[in-house]
A = this chain, B = another copy of it.
Amino acid sequence: MQQQLLVAGIDIGGTNVVLGLVNRQGKILWKSSFLTKQFDDFELLVAHASQEVSKALASIEHAQLIGCGIGAPNGNFYTGNIEYAPNLVWKGIVPVAEKFTKALDAKCLITNDANAAALGEMLYGAAKPYKDFIFVTLGTGLGSGLVINGELVYGHDGFAGELGHVIVEKDGRSCGCGRKGCLETYCSATGLVLTYQELKKTSDTLIDSKYVFQKAKEQEKEALTAFALTGETLGLALANAVAYTSPEAIFLFGGLAHAGDFLLKPTIESFEKNLHVIYRGKATIHLSHLNENDGAVLGAASLIWNDHSL
């Protein structure tokens, strides 16, 4: 009987760790999750996650683990570490790839969650036909991954593709990174809510992006305007991004991308309006084809399936 080669995909988020087993065709054969905050000690998280993966492997006939891909905030492909992630409980430098390599006895690669999802889109999603694209996740923050000539760009230090931290407004909104006016303070679930609160002149902390979406569906003026302003800023930022790497496509992923035309229409309008004439008609904006629930695990696993040394 032929062995079934599998990759473990692990997405480490501020709230949940999601893990799964993925075959080369991008099929998720097993998936599970647990709360990140259960494990103050990273060693214990590694032990727990590895045990879960091993148990799942044992339950799949002829399964063989060939590697483990990990997506995590501030995950560094070159060093294999999570480095100074502001939203995780483990501070400083966490040698993630090293610890998982030992625990699973398999090759482990790590990168940040947006980069991992960009690879997922390239291998298993809407970006399959493209060699040059930008992938943007619109969640609590704004993450991004750049693919040039079929290769994910890591930059010289492993931290390329931080489109969310391009400053778009001098002395603008305060950002978690300590600076002001970063794109993600405007174009993210958090940014949308802030814009809506400003328009409604309220600081009601119960308002979240789902609420704004609901209000937009009810045609509330301020909610529609909040989406329009978010799209206007995003469209300009994406038009500017094209002037760097001249991609053929831009993919939008994450919670906010599901707001459909409320966000997409003003984003595309602003994008087209602000795009330099030499790029017009060449670069287009699309919604991701990755399933919102599976994208993170699929993306993480893609790190291994995309590894040219395999």
**A167-B239, A239-B167, A240-B167 are known contacts. Are A246 and B279 too (CB-CB below 8 A)?**
no
Flag if B246 contacts A159 (CB, 8 Å). yes
Question: Which of A154, A245, A279 counts the most B-chain CB atoms under 10 A from its CB?
Answer: A245
**A167-B240, A236-B170 are known contacts. Are A153 and B279 too (CB-CB below 8 A)?**
no
Interface pick from A192-200, A270-278, A297-305: A270-278
Which of chain A's residues 133-176 have a Cβ closer than 8 Å to chain B? 146, 148-149, 151, 153-163, 165-167, 170
Complexed CA–CA distance, A74 and B178 (Å): 39
CB distance from A3 to the nearest CB of B (A): 34
In the assembled complex, which residues on chain B have CB atoms less than 8 Å from the CB atom of A165?
243, 276
Complexed CA–CA distance, A241 and B167 (Å): 10
Range for the number of chain A residues in contact with chain B? 35 or more
Complexed CA–CA distance, A246 and B196 (Å): 33
Q: Is A131 interfacial (CB-CB < 8 Å)?
A: yes
Q: Is A308 interfacial (CB-CB < 8 Å)?
A: no
Complexed CA–CA distance, A309 and B131 (Å): 21
Complexed CA–CA distance, A246 and B239 (Å): 19
* Copies of this chain present: 2
Residue from the list B146, B154, B158, B248 in contact with A244, Cβ < 8 A: B146
Q: Is A179 interfacial (CB-CB < 8 Å)?
A: yes
Flag if B245 contacts A160 (CB, 8 Å). yes
In the assembled complex, which residues on chain B have CB atoms less than 8 Å from the CB atom of A276?
162, 165, 177, 179
Q: Is A211 interfacial (CB-CB < 8 Å)?
A: no
A275 to chain B: closest residue by CB: B179
Complexed CA–CA distance, A274 and B168 (Å): 11
In the assembled complex, which residues on chain B have CB atoms less than 8 Å from the CB atom of A121?
none
Residue from the list B158, B161, B240, B248 in contact with A166, Cβ < 8 A: B240
Q: Is A282 interfacial (CB-CB < 8 Å)?
A: yes
**A162-B276, A170-B236 are known contacts. Are A131 and B148 too (CB-CB below 8 A)?**
no
Flag if B278 contacts A84 (CB, 8 Å). yes
In the assembled complex, which residues on chain B have CB atoms less than 8 Å from the CB atom of A74?
278
Complexed CA–CA distance, A218 and B184 (Å): 43
Q: Is A132 interfacial (CB-CB < 8 Å)?
A: yes
In the assembled complex, which residues on chain B have CB atoms less than 8 Å from the CB atom of A246?
153-162
Residue from the list B156, B236, B279 in contact with A167, Cβ < 8 A: B236
In the assembled complex, which residues on chain B have CB atoms less than 8 Å from the CB atom of A177?
276-277
Flag if A244 contacts B161 (CB, 8 Å). yes
Complexed CA–CA distance, A157 and B155 (Å): 22
Question: Which of A130, A132, A151 counts the most B-chain CB atoms under 10 A from its CB?
Answer: A132
**Could you jot down 23 A-B contacts, CB within 8 Å?**
A74-B278, A83-B278, A84-B277, A84-B278, A130-B156, A131-B156, A132-B155, A148-B153, A149-B151, A153-B245, A153-B246, A156-B246, A156-B282, A157-B282, A159-B246, A160-B245, A163-B243, A165-B276, A167-B236, A170-B236, A178-B277, A179-B276, A241-B244
